[in-house]
Structure 1
Amino acid sequence: MIPATWKYVWNNSADPRVVRAHTLADAARAARPRITLSRSEGGGPVLAYGGLPQGLTYVLPFLEQRRGGASHRVGRGTTWADLMHGRAAPDADILAVGVLGDRVPAQLPRHSLLLPFRVTLAVPVGPDSQDVLGRLSRKARQQHARELRSHSRTLEVAVRDDDFAFFYDDMHQPTMVNRHGDAARSEDRDIARVCLFERGVLFFLCESGRRVAGMLCRLEGRTLVVRLAGVARGDDQAYASGTYLAMYVLILQWAAEHGLTRVDLSGCEPFLSKGIFQFKRKMHPEVALPGNHFTGKRLMLQVRRDSPSVRAFLAANPVFAIGQRQGFEAVYFHDEDHPPRLDLRWNCPGVRGQRLVHFDDFLALLPDAARQPPAVPPNLP
């Protein structure tokens, strides 16, 4: 197996042998965990992340982006005992701990929630491609039909090497830089070519014959996995015009017409405020644990201090929590000053319902010292 293929398989395969090996490697890497403290020049809660190192790629950057402002981090070594009990980050307002599922304590620390580390979103498809439209709201169906006609939109399947180069260099890379900057996550070019293009399908959305967007997908049995996307030159206008929604709908219909049974839309962090989730929710996907190594990872979210900025942050970012029953639960924090963000909707298969949690109840037993915002050093680390 060439290095590019092995790297992709290691990070993405649902093969139980690969998942088991990855889990063992994760346990070894996290034997001596680290804690990273993050402050913002613009204020907001002091965040901390510790435990499994993947959280520095997925969890902490998302929390920092939602807090806003330039982030300043400082890290150090700690122990699992101090992480689990919150002692590892005494200055943190909110502590997130990435942990393997078998290390989650039977009794969570007080003022904590247990979340999946990531969730995956997938749409089952049948032999009738028109059933795909039935998953959309009436408003979304009308917009799709209207713009399909007005923009003369069609779906192209591309197979040449120069098609891949055009997609990766002129669509995907500019889009990642424009949308995410230094926080962009993607596959490098060799992996994308060998593991996706040569083992999948490259789609272009055309308007009046001109390529305006593309998606590179991998075929895994009868499942089509959406992996990389981009718009021409990374142009923001494409996001406002319904281009991506049109492309997803046409790809879902293509999958149904070609005998596939499932389209994996890829995953995201377990927060309803994640823009990718709110966008893909329009297609009514099933929300589940990922099939790869993330399936056994969990995120413990603990509130360490009560303050107006902490309440504002948590109210703005409802979560998917893991409860006693099968499936996830949408949890919304609120109080008299922070109404629950019910506009961030959860309604998808795999999410069994919602729970409203009042801050005064959730934080009732915090010590008095934890009800004041922490002092911020004059020189941020």
Structure 2
Amino acid sequence: MPRRYSQNPYTQSNAKTKARLREGVCKMKQDTPSVLKSEIDKIEVPKDKLDTAIQEALNKGKKQKIKTPKNRLAIYVSAAAILFFSIFIGSAFVFAPIGSMASKIPYLGAVFQSSDLTDVVMNDLDKKGYKINSVSATYLPSKEMEINIMGNDQYFNAVKADVKKEVQQILQAKGYDSYSIKLTKYKEIKNPGLTEQQQKDKKVITEAVSEEMAQKKYNFNTIEVDPFSKEVFVDLKGDISYYDDHKDLAKTAATEALGKVEHSDYKVNITNSTPIIIKKQDDIGSDITSKIGEGLLSKKEYKVTEVGYVEDPLTFNIKTSVNASDSSSRVLAQKIEKEVKQLTELKNVKEKLDGKSYKVVIYSKDGKKLN
């Protein structure tokens, strides 16, 4: 008995239909212009997501009527085109490799004018309904993203895992792998005024630690004392190399100073102010440096520890964690310089520069020029 076929190809077995749709996706990739084909070939579409998308297309297709079987091939190719494009567009906002490829397409360029990382995270968490007090990113002494959550202990414990997962997904989507994530609970200071005794303690501790730092000849910017949390913050002055070499010694010295004035119950924190940008209004250098800083500092592969600039002549200064003697240091410098130059070739960046020349200088951990 002859095998009977329905006029609607979507009523055939799901296995055969899915196979043909996958073939259609492959054909789409083969017919894609060469400028995109190599990038598309790198896209890894999860099989479960592909099958889900195909099934949804099949369900919609069952509602449609096809006049003749002649249209069958065209239907499969068209369905594949829609399916592939849907997966592509959806993934562009989730997977970093696809996002970078899609940014080469002019009409999608505006989608990739991203806000600062902390704004992106804050806005995302706010839209999801989480009670967030602040989001901050620090680069020294380590690259860390801190999310300060409001609410009582019960709320904090209930949402902290989900908040961390949400932030991790944002970082992964951007391809940022250098941050650790720290979740803290907002502490409201009900009485911000210091008592007379606390004021006295603050003065004694500040003087004692300052004197100890001066005697040991440690360079520092500020010493802050918080009697509420019983903490002392010593901000060392200098680059990352100085900080690495002196942070433990400075902490020991400050702890000894606290012992001498009978305040050993205070915790010592040694910090180093983030040397990235001092931003001024209508400052070309700061606008570009902020993007260079976020991009290079957020990826481990670049090994960047500091990003700054000099306004005249416009010079972007980038410091790495590698020594000049390392065999890979020059290659790394070339890679970083190439990234910066590609950034400055973008239309909107060119407009900001307005023909102004610039230099990129890359330094090793020990302060030697690598390019």
The TM-score, its normalising length taken from structure 1, stands at: 0.21
Instruction: Specify which structure has the bigger relative contact order, considering alpha-carbon pairs within 8 angstroms and separated by 6 or more residues.
Output: 1
Bigger fraction of residues in strand:
1
Bigger fraction of residues in helix:
2
